[in-house]
Amino acid sequence: MRRPAHPRLLAALGAAVFALAVSGCAAAGGTPEATPRPLAATPAPTPTADPFPREPLTASTRYVALGDSFAAGMGAGDESGKCRQSNYSYPADFAKTAGVDLVVNAACAGATTSDLLKHQLIALDDRTDLVTVSVGGNDLGVAAIASDCAAGKAVACRNGVSSALSLLNVLPDRLETVYSAIAQAAPNARIVVTGYALMYDNTDTGSPDFGTATAINAATIGLNQTIKDAVDAQRAKGVPMTYVGVDFLGHGIGTKKPWLNVSGEDAFHPTAAGYREYARELAKLLGSAQ
| H or E element, residue 194 | strand 190-194
Percent helix, strand, coil in the chain, to 5, is: 45, 10, 45
Tell me whether residue 69 is one of the annotated catalytic residues.
yes
Question: In 3D, which of 189, 55, 66 has the Cα closest to residue 121?
Answer: 66
DSSP 14-51: HHHHHHHHHSS----S--PPPPP-PPPP-PPPPP---S
Selected catalytic residue, list 6, 166, 269, 288: 269
| H or E element, residue 11 | helix 7-22
Selected catalytic residue, list 69, 86, 89, 134: 69
DSSP 62-126: EEEEEESHHHHTTTSSSEETTTTEETTSHHHHHHHHHT-EEEEE---TT--HHHHHHHTGGG--T
Tell me whether residue 269 is one of the annotated catalytic residues.
yes
Phi, psi of 34 (to 5 degrees): -75, 145
CA angle 31, 165, 25 (to 5 degrees): 40
Please identify every residue annotated as catalytic.
69, 269
